[in-house]
Amino acid sequence: MSKKSRKKSSKTSSGSPTAKRKTAKTRASTQTRSAKTQRRPASKSTGTIAKAGSHKAASKQLNSSKSASPAAAKSGLAEGQKAPAFRLPRDGGDVVTLADYAGRKLVLFFYPRADTPGCTREAIDFTRLADAFAAAGTAVLGISADPLKAQEKFRDKHKLGVPLISDEKHEMLEAYGAWGQKSMYGKSFLGILRTTVLVGADGKVARVWRNVRVDGHADEVLEAARSL
């Protein structure tokens, strides 16, 4: 073999620097593709698991919300049972309890929000009949979840003559079945259900009005109180 042939053969052999570089480059490229292939399923799997976990958590939260709503809407309050006790602040800064009205008939009207049209008409109607209720031996209290400042502003603006109770924690509202699921504009939410309860002088629930329509309601309650 000639010297030129030997030199050419030496340059193209697998042990040449050029060949080694090509082989190393090919191997590195193969390893990179293999690593990417291995990583992709893991990443996809992790994302899928995370997404599934998130969906599961959201479903759990939704189910919990759904299960809580009916329970909040149903208090089990029925005519003939003992009226649930309460102790809450009223306009003016005093505290009102059920025991304060022992031996007297008591009207509790629960309204959604102070100074809204329906609630204003209802409160004004009970104020208009306050003397008639007193003559029938019946006290009247208005209850909502508004803070005391809002209740007092409501009272002063419309010159209301009935005490207004603030139940911001919804304890009394729930006990009397006036807190539950409502709907407006296609959306459901928890809120105050317009409800009125008449408690007899014996401390028992005599009448319950649910989903109250304001017009003529106070007059109807007065007639029921007079008949006890």
Cα 182 from Cα 211, distance rounded (Å): 11
Of 206, 174, 207, the residue nearest 192 (C-alpha): 174
Cα 178 from Cα 169, distance rounded (Å): 13
DSSP 124-183: HHHHHTHHHHHHTTEEEEEEES--HHHHHHHHHHHT--S-EEE-TT-HHHHHTT-EEEEE
Which residues make Cβ contacts (< 8 Å) with residue 80, sequence separation at least 6? 204, 205
54 belongs to the catalytic site: no
Could you give the dihedral angle defined by the CA atoms of residues 215, 216, 217 and 218, in that order, rounded to the nearest 10 degrees? Answer: 120
Cα 35 from Cα 31, distance rounded (Å): 6
Query: In the beta sheet, which residues pair with residue 164?
Result: 142
Annotated active-site residue in 98, 119, 140, 222:
119
Cα 204 from Cα 188, distance rounded (Å): 32
Helices (H), the chain: 3-12, 17-73, 117-128, 130-135, 148-158, 171-175, 217-227
Q: Which residues are catalytic?
A: 119
